[in-house]
Amino acid sequence: MIRDSQDVIVKTLSRLLVPFMVIYALYVIMHGHHSPGGGFQGGVILAAGFVLLVVSHGLEQTRKRLSEKAAGVLSSIGVFIYAGIGALCLILGGNYLDYGKLSKLLPVVPAEARSLGILGVEIGVALAVMAVMFTIFLVIFTVGEFPEDDRSEK
Amino acid sequence: MIDFFLILSVGMCVLVLFCLYRGTFGPGVLNRAAGISAIGTKTLIILLLMGVIYDRIDMFIDISMAYALLNFIGTVVLAKYIETTGEA
Amino acid sequence: MIVKDVICILFMLGSFFLFTTATLGLLRLPDFFTRLHATGKGDTLAALWSLAGLAVYHGFTLTSAKILFIAVFLFLAQPTATHAISRAAFRCKVQPWTLAKGGEK
């Protein structure tokens, strides 16, 4: 499951389609407030792009681009952004996640500050969801296969 | 025009039921995979026709694009798993 | 206005006929490889015609451009999925149906 697929057609089309999927995931994240989408859906589509990369090019090539350690760090960064924006609103004198108070920091009216605040929270959620989905996929599909066995087979 | 799309949607739903027969009773897992891929393509067209009937096509285009992506990835991952474990 | 509607109806009827033929092939053909042939080609072309008909129905707007993006993606991705399944069947040593076996699989 973790070796590459040795198939010219699937490899070539994965190289064509993965950047397109990443751009589409970013579009779904950014347009969360006036079309179906938002943080969770965009994060899942972003993780699906990386899953396609694992299935077509093998685990070693994908580890050079996004290792398990980097996925763990990314999920923590996503939660930190979410909680950080909430705590920032608390420090500036409102309730938790009260985005209107962000207008004291940025030179905008409170209505636009609410829109920017929810956008920042969606970005944090998307990063966390992508990292967790990728980690779950790797843990399930490499069960029972240790790196030592792979090296000894080569 | 809307009535035409409505009749077409009902016809496509009947075709999905026929494909579900192959998805349930196909001898072996490969026949079932082919049936589910066909159901995914028909579902995409039904979603877009629903969008035209309810006059909110801007919402349904994003949903159908995401479903096309996920259908493709599901089929490729299932095919790789069957090839690795080696049972038909 | 009326030409747009007629072109859309022609595309949608052609796509419905192709979907029906592909489903009939999926049910009645005798072997896995022949069924994959029917659904891999017939479903893709029918979906492309249907999306082209809907794009013509909406005219020259952003919505039609997005529908054509879905069509291009489907044109690239669906034959790849069909190829992946058929390669998995070949590696699992599924025997093709031949007439020499007396017409029975």
What are the residues whose beta carbons fall under 8 Å from the beta carbon of B84, sequence distance 6 or more? A1
Residue C105 lies in a domain: no
Any domain includes A12? yes
- pLDDT for the residue A112: 87
Domain assignment present for C83:
yes
Chain C residues closer than 8 Å to A20 by CB: 73
pLDDT value for A37:
87
Rounded to whole angstroms, the Cα distance separating A121 from A74 reads 15
Domain annotation covers residue A122? yes
More confident call, C70 vs A35: C70
Q: What is the pLDDT along chain A (154 residues), one digit of tens a residue?
A: 577 778 899 999 999 999 999 999 999 999 988 888 889 999 999 999 999 999 999 888 898 999 989 999 999 999 999 999 999 989 888 888 888 888 888 888 888 888 889 999 999 999 999 999 999 999 888 876 665 555 555 4
- Tokens read off for C73: 């993606």
Helix then strand count (H, E) for chain B reads: 3, 0
Confirm or reject contact between A30 and chain B (CB < 8 A): no
Instruction: Count how many domains chain C has.
Output: 1
pLDDT score, position A104: 84
Amino acid at C63: T
**Which domain covers residue C56, as residue numbers?**
2-96
Tell me which residue has tokens 């420090």: A91
Q: Supply the DSSP symbol for C58.
A: T
pLDDT at C104 exceeding the cut of 60: no
pLDDT at B85: 84
User: DSSP letter at A104?
Assistant: G
Per-residue pLDDT tens for B48-72?
999 999 998 888 999 999 999 999 9
Residue C3 burial (CB count, 10 A): 8
Domain count for chain A, please give it: 1
Is C102 inside any structural domain? no
For residue C77, the chain A residue with the least C-alpha distance is A13
Residue C1: predicted pLDDT: 67
**A25 and B CB contact within 8 Å:** no
B9: left (phi over 0), alpha (psi -120 to 50) or beta: alpha
Helix (H/G/I), strand (E/B), else coil: B27: coil
Structure tokens at C76: 């690239």
For C2-45, how does the pLDDT look when each residue is reduced to its tens digit (9 = 90+)?
A: 899 999 999 999 999 999 999 999 999 999 999 999 999 999 99
Quote the distance between the C-alpha of residue B24 and its chain's center.
Answer: 15
Query: What pLDDT does residue A146 have?
Result: 60
**pLDDT confidence of C105, banded at 50, 70, 90?**
very low
- ipTM attached to this prediction: 0.90
Task: Please tell me the distance from the alpha carbon of residue A141 to that of residue B87, in angstroms, as a whole number.
Answer: 18
Hey, is the C-beta of B54 within 8 angstroms of any chain A C-beta? no
C83 touches chain A (CB under 8 A): yes
Angle between helices C62-91 and B29-53 (to 10 degrees): 170
pTM for this model (two decimals): 0.89
- pLDDT of amino acid C5: 92
Q: Do A13 and C76 touch (CB under 8 A)?
A: yes
Look at residue C101 and tell me if it is in a domain. Answer: no
Domains in chain B: boundaries: 2-85
Question: CB A25: neighbour CB atoms within 10 A?
Answer: 24
Q: Is the pLDDT of residue B19 over 80?
A: yes
- Full residue range of the structural domain in which residue A54 is found: 8-153
Q: Which residues of A touch B58 (CB under 8 A)?
A: 35
Contact between B46 and C51 under an 8 Å Cβ cutoff? The reply is: no
